[in-house]
Amino acid sequence: MNVYRKNNISPKEFKTQIRILKSSSFVFIISLAALFLSCGISSASEISAKAAVLVDSLSGEVFYAKNPDLRLPPASTTKLITAMVALDKLDPEAVVTISRRAANTPSVKPHLTAGQKISVKDLLYLALMRSINGAAVALAETVAGSEKAFVNLMNKKVQSVGAKNTKFINSSGLPGRKQHTTARDLAELMKESLNYPLISEIINTRIKMLDVDDKQVLLKNTNYLLWSDDNQIGGKTGYTRAAKHCVVSASKKGERTLIVALLGEPVRDDLWEDAKTLLDKGYEMIDNADSIIKTNHTELKRYSPNKS
């Protein structure tokens, strides 16, 4: 069939109309995708944390934000940065002698003992899986000679990543004045930490048995999302009375990685529920947008001129 003769237009005019149609369809696709995104964001508006973000790791697009730049205490999410700086400077197989100061740092069990010899790798497992504060201090002292000197390296690290609203005063996340981060910064720091293979391995481990001083130490990851979400690839939790409950975690589905950060969650159980809600909604939004684009690309082919 001669398309041009039937519609009484020249081939040049027909091709011009096709270009306009494709352009209009593309705008429609983008607008409809944006509509899905806006609907998804509003439906997740009941998040109870003081601050929250959901970010697409690849594009940097923010799918959800609640007080994303509000400065809040980071609690033990701090240890992600401690781990990165430690790995920038130390061999994971190097052995560290635990100082009295590190051993006496307030922490959950298992407690460290002055004089113990523990590898950098095992200290990272203790710090990231079980959130042992003394392990973070031991790493800091090994890198810089003192925790105070190490903190300077931490603050340089976060600035280099672009986390401009984050500042640390210690390596563990214990409470202190002028120590703060934001949900947006924390998500960016989580993204950076995934570039470290050992950190990625540790934070994605549910249970680990360590051999410390010929004693078996069982560690269970504090990130409960690892048990409830098969797409989880790991993260870091935190809690102090001032910070309340916190988490930053990454989830990968297909080729897309989403990062969720929650700060100042009053109730522990709500931390997991809110994180799962945001992640599920994020992937739903991605799936909907991809479906729209694929469908319309197929439809556009119908308007191609018949060459016969």
Q: Are the CB atoms for 181 and 263 separated by under 8 Å?
A: yes
Catalytic status, residue 131: yes
- The pLDDT-based confidence of 28 (bands split at 50, 70, 90) is very low
What distance lies between CA 203 and its chain's CA centroid? 11
Catalytic residue among 131, 171, 172, 249: 131
Q: Check if 121 is active-site.
A: no
Per-domain residue ranges of the chain: 3-303
Catalytic residue among 57, 66, 76, 99: 76
Which of 50, 66, 79, 121 is catalytic? The answer is 79
- Mean pLDDT over all residues of the chain? 85
Bigger pLDDT: 252 or 214?
252
Mean pLDDT confidence for 199-209? 98
What architecture does CATH give domain 3-303?
3-Layer(aba) Sandwich (3.40)
Q: Please give the order of strands across the beta sheet that includes 244-253.
A: 62-66, 51-56, 256-265, 244-253, 232-240
Q: Is the pTM for the entire model greater than 0.75? A: yes
Pick the residue with more confidence: 38 or 150? Answer: 150
CB atoms within 10 A of CB 10: 10
pLDDT tens sequence across 38-79: 444 444 558 999 999 999 999 999 999 999 999 999 999 999
Does the annotation count 76 as an active-site position? Answer: yes
φ and ψ at residue 208, rounded to 5 degrees: -140, 135
